[in-house]
């Protein structure tokens, strides 16, 4: 029981069963988000290594042979050489959603390295399924330069929330994009976006404050996206 581990989301053992790799999804950096444990003596497990990323959140880790395959949310997927089981040596990576950066829950959600074909499968919240060959490290589908089609406003997350939430949306063509938050009376309280944006997927964090920087009371709020003739409204709940 390591008090330094905030939330043991997933773990996997080395193929010989002597080492356990634990992913801490809520690590407070510079705290390590992957820790390595010698479990050859189950009565006395010993931490023998760790790995930390200060800019992204780790999610799932799987091991096959001398490699660990890791889904790292906004950083995409990573492949580590674990020939020395006490060390994680980064040998390859691919960012499945480069528009998303920072420590929040989006991007590469899962990874699967056990297909009979030898391909590696990863799923991304916004961009769908990716298929990789580890030798080349290149994406098979979708195409690297593929642009998203149409406009879309997604449900914020988390919801309910306190103190902040993330709003994601998609821009289908060069457009003036306006994203605003309204109270129950229909009064605008915060302008989050008001600018021309190119096609792509975007995210913005709302901190529960109005345009003057004042903390807003808990309750129901609405957010509206207008762009290129597209308009949509969704509801969210700010709690105490």
88 or 1, greater pLDDT? 88
Question: Using 50, 70 and 90 to split pLDDT, how confident is the model at 194?
Answer: very high
What does R_g of the chain's alpha carbons equal in angstroms?
Answer: 21
Pair 19, 133 in one domain: yes
Residue 239, pLDDT score: 92
Q: Residue 180: which CATH number? A: 2.60.40.4070
What tokens were used for 151? 């406009």
Residue 1, pLDDT score: 55
Pair 210, 116 in one domain: no
Which one-letter DSSP state was computed for residue 118? -
Pair 216, 118 in one domain: no
Pair 132, 159 in one domain: no
Pair 52, 75 in one domain: yes
Dist CA 238 CA 227 (whole Å): 25
Pair 172, 132 in one domain: no
Average pLDDT, the chain: 82
Distance of CA 88 to the CA centre of its chain: 21
- What does 169-207 look like in DSSP terms, one character per residue? EEE-SSEEEEEEEE-TTS-EEEEEEEEEE-SEEEEEEE-
Residue 211, pLDDT score: 94
Residues 6+ apart with CB under 8 A from 132: 77, 94, 119, 120, 121, 122, 138, 139, 140
Q: Average of pLDDT values for 198-226?
A: 91
* Total domains, the chain: 2
Q: In what order do the strands lie in the sheet with 188-197?
A: 188-197, 175-182, 219-227, 230-238
Is 2 part of a structural domain of the chain? no
Pair 65, 184 in one domain: no
Residue 185, pLDDT score: 86
- Strands (E) in 82-134, as ranges, are 89-94, 108-112, 120-124, 128-133
Q: Tens digit of pLDDT for each residue in 88-131?
A: 888 788 888 776 665 566 678 889 989 888 888 888 877 788 88
**Which of 56-60, 139-143, 230-234 is least confident?**
139-143
Residue 76, pLDDT score: 84
Q: Average of pLDDT values for 191-207?
A: 89
The number of C-alpha atoms within 13 Å of 87 and in the hemisphere containing its C-beta is 6
Residue 13, pLDDT score: 92
Q: Examine the pLDDT at 54 and tell me if it is beyond 60.
A: yes
Residue 144, pLDDT score: 40
**Structural element, H or E, at residue 20:** strand 19-24
Residue 33, pLDDT score: 81
């Amino acid at each position: 029981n390591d008090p330094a581990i905030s939330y043991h989301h997933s773990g996997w053992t080395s193929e010989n069963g002597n080492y356990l790799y634990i992913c801490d999804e809520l690590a407070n950096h510079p705290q390590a988000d992957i820790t390595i444990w010698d479990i050859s003596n189950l009565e006395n497990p010993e931490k023998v290594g760790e790995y930390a990323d200060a800019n992204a959140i780790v999610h799932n880790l799987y091991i096959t042979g001398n490699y660990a395959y890791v889904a790292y949310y906004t950083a995409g997927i990573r492949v580590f050489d674990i020939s020395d089981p006490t060390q994680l040596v980064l040998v390859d990576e691919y960012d499945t959603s480069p528009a998303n950066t920072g420590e929040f829950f989006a991007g590469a959600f899962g990874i699967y390295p056990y297909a009979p074909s030898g391909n590696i499968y990863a799923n991304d919240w916004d961009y769908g399924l990716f298929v990789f060959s580890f030798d080349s490290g290149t994406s098979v589908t979708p195409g690297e330069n593929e642009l998203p089609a149409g406009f879309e406003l997604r449900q914020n997350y988390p919801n309910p929330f306190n103190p902040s939430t993330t709003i994601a949306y998609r821009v289908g063509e060069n457009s003036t994009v306006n994203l605003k938050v309204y109270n129950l009376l229909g009064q605008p309280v915060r302008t989050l976006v008001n600018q021309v944006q190119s096609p792509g997927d975007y995210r913005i964090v709302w901190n529960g404050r109005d345009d003057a920087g004042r903390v807003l009371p808990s309750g129901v709020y609405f957010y509206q996206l207008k762009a290129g003739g597209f308009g949509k409204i969704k509801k969210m709940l700010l709690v105490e």
